[in-house]
Amino acid sequence: MGQYSHLQFFRHTPNAQLAVYFSSKNINLGIDLTRLKETEAEMILKAFTQLPDDQQAEIEAEFQDVNALACEGGIAALIDESRFHDDDGFVEAVAAIDGFHSKVMWAFLEKPTYWRGASMFLHADNVSPSFWKKRNDLPNLPPHVDDEDIDAFAQAISQYFYSQQGRGKNCKVEPYRRNDKEYFFAYPEDFAQSGVEWVSNTLKTLAHHPAFEIIFVYSESEGSLDIYAPKNTKVVPELQRHFAKTILKLEALKDGSIDQRVYDLAPLNDNDFEFKLEAVEGISSVVVTRMRLTLKQGSRRRIMLEADTKNNSKAVYDLLGELTLPKYHITQVGVKVTFDALEGKRTKTRTFNITYPNSCALNYDGSDLKIRKMLAESGIEPKAE
């Protein structure tokens, strides 16, 4: 989503929904939203800015939350959360509503218990794959997620960071189940900070205690644990052990390593290579748009090939064939996936890079999951070296 704007938000959200929202908070804007045209967003903005500052701040925070989920990924996260609540009618209901903002505002008003989980899922989905550290050799044990288990996990994280770094005195862990995976969002207390803030119409320097974030994603069926710990990657092995002890009830965890599987890019060197599109419904074409070649002789000698594939899907390969090159490895490819066009909608595409050994700029939700399955069927998926 782009930068939030009140005016843009009012333009995208139906007046009838805004009327329900303000009515639920017993706020009178002094205008009848149901009688306004959908194009008269300026009048709503003018009325909104007449509200007291504290009310505006509270509403703005909620509107920004709605705006953040008003996208395809946000809808997918809400659907995943609805499945946890066994709400079979949610998908049909949200599909009948036009526009992302309308869909999300409806969910905000009608399904408030879904909100926190969906927001957290979308946040995790937006983390770059390169930031996740994966271990895939854990025993296939069910996670323990009762209150006392979550409290013990939070206490273990707190004690570790407080003893090692002098921060993390307090910690909260929020667990969520998403399909067949368990998500744990941990918030240890960070070092105290001070900043300049506006309090009403006065500029003040205020001290506060922010939290830093760690995300754990566990799959019992895969025996895998993904950890997102920005600026704390060195402590990932310790975090794995604390997770295993408190959530999996393992007294000891053997020394392990980050997932060392690699993407096999060698097949892409063949001009006749074809991606297995029939393996997944909804994908109409896959094109290699660029290649990075690392020469076998010498150190850090690379060649980047890029060509216009709009009218020639093999343009990169044609360019490669025109060159006389020493021996090389393919260490990165740019890929463009085009999905089947849906009636009345623009054709969707997804462009991403795969980089040797094990970096792929795809997430693990929605259309990206389809692409990952296609890559697996095509023989490009990570394999143990």
Q: In the chain, where are the structural domains located?
A: 6-125, 131-246, 266-377
Decide: 210 and 193 in contact? Cβ < 8 Å: yes
Q: What value, to the nearest 5°, has the Cα angle with vertex 253 and ends 155 and 176?
A: 50
DSSP 256-318: --S---B---GGGGSTT----GGGSTTEEEEEEEEEEEEESSSSS-EEEEE---SS-TTHHHH
Q: How many CA atoms lie within 13 A of 153 on its CB side?
A: 30
Selection from 376, 355, 381, 384 nearest residue 129 by Cα: 355
DSSP β-ladder status, 171-178 and 181-188: antiparallel
| Predicted confidence pLDDT, tens digits, the chain (385 residues) | 557 899 999 999 999 999 999 999 999 999 999 899 999 999 999 999 999 988 999 999 999 999 999 988 899 899 999 999 999 999 999 999 999 999 999 999 999 999 999 999 989 988 877 788 888 889 999 999 999 999 999 999 999 999 999 999 999 999 999 988 999 999 999 998 888 887 777 888 887 889 999 999 999 988 899 999 988 888 999 999 999 999 999 988 777 655 656 788 888 988 889 999 987 889 999 999 999 999 887 667 889 999 999 999 999 999 999 998 888 989 999 999 999 987 777 888 999 999 887 778 787 777 888 898 899 889 887 754 4
Decide: 110 and 102 in contact? Cβ < 8 Å: no
Q: Long-range CB contacts (< 8 A, 24+ apart) of 23-31?
A: 24/109, 25/59, 27/51, 27/55, 27/59
* pLDDT reported for residue 206: 80
Decide: 261 and 382 in contact? Cβ < 8 Å: yes
- Type of residue at 110: E
- Type of residue at 22: F
Selection from 35, 311, 80 nearest residue 180 by Cα: 80
User: Residue 351, SS3?
Assistant: strand
DSSP 37-81: -TT-HHHHHHHHTTS-HHHHHHHHHHHHHHHHH-SHHHHHHHHHH
Which pTM value belongs to this model? Answer: 0.70
> Residues of 311-333 as b/e, b for ≥16 C-beta within 10 angstroms?
eeeebbbeebeeeeeeebebbbb
* pLDDT reported for residue 318: 93
Selection from 343, 338, 342, 347 nearest residue 371 by Cα: 338
| Cβ partners under 8 Å of residue 53, min gap 6 | 200
CA distance 237 to 243: 10
